[in-house]
Amino acid sequence: MQLCFGPSPLIQGECGQTVPVDNFDWAVPEEVIAADGWRSGLAQFVGVWDGTTVTIETLEPAGPPRDDGSGLAEQLCAAPSGSAADIRSLPPEDEFAKREGFQALWLTGAPPAYVVNVAVIGDPAEWEDWMRQFYPGLLCVGELPGPSKTDIRAAMDRLLPLMEQDIVLSMGGSTTDGGPGIEVDVFLATSDVVDAIHEAVGPDMMPWVRINPAFTVIR
């Protein structure tokens, strides 16, 4: 049997990577979907990989998704400036990202009193002065731990060669430790793979990169 990792394991020929596996029991997943000779189910297991095949040692149903607490802060300040206003006067986030030091933008509160939170690296007063040219509403401007949007995009550009080599399966902007970062999906998180990712992004970005392996080496 082959474990399939790819866009859609239920569509023949759409499997990104595979690994042979021994001792898998299809009675363990709580739900199994079958189509055209393919089966899909969620389970978690520990096994031994000899470089070609995974031999399962323990197998159990997949648990609920874990909350890693990595979401952005709920609100950047206790007392927002401004008054309730129509958030449709805000420009697209891409306009914010063009300015040096921009980290993230999100809403808190409820209509009509939405609070616009803008995380930046630099002088919050300068950002608020700029925003007040077009937005009179409730506003919190502050800084989050982590890099700017520009730094994240540059680091992702440096990871592209690893995607071309199939070392990195996919990647995207995310949040790590309450601030902006990068999620990197890999097949197997060997020390060589981790080192290659860290070398590509550079030492300053390393703390803000979360590597998500399909398999993890535990011993």
Reported as a single tens digit per residue, the pLDDT across 171-206 is 998 876 678 999 999 988 888 999 999 999 999 999
Round to whole Å and give the CA distance between 214 and 47.
13
In the chain, where the domains are located: 1-65, 66-144, 149-213
* Assigned token pair, 178: 């309450």
Round to whole Å and give the CA distance between 128 and 137.
11
Angle at 146 between CA 73 and CA 115, to 5 degrees: 30
- 47 versus 160: the higher-pLDDT residue is 160
* Helix 149-164 / helix 191-201 crossing angle, nearest 10 deg: 140
What are the φ and ψ backbone dihedral angles of 197, each rounded to 5 degrees? -65, -45
- 90 versus 53: the higher-pLDDT residue is 90
Alpha helix (H) ranges present in 45-184? 93-97, 124-131, 149-164
What are the φ and ψ backbone dihedral angles of 80, each rounded to 5 degrees? -60, 150
Alpha-carbon Rg for the chain, nearest whole angstrom, is 22
* Assigned token pair, 183: 């999620």
Residue 181: closest CA among 160, 204, 213:
204
CB-CB contact of 169 with 185 (8 Å): yes
Looking at mean pLDDT, say which of 8-12, 38-42, 73-77, 115-119 comes out highest. 115-119
Is there a cis peptide before residue 80, judged by omega within 30 degrees of 0?
Answer: no
DSSP 101: T
**pTM for the full model?**
0.71
Per-residue confidence (pLDDT) for residue 74, from 0 to 100: 83
Helices (H) and strands (E) in the chain, counts: 4, 12
pLDDT tops 80 at residue 118: yes
In the CATH hierarchy, which fold is given to the domain comprising 149-213?
A: GMP Synthetase; Chain A, domain 3 (3.30.300)
Count CB-CB contacts under 10 A for residue 120: 24
Per-residue confidence (pLDDT) for residue 175, from 0 to 100: 78
What are the φ and ψ backbone dihedral angles of 194, each rounded to 5 degrees? -60, -45
Question: For all residues of the chain together, what is the average pLDDT?
Answer: 84
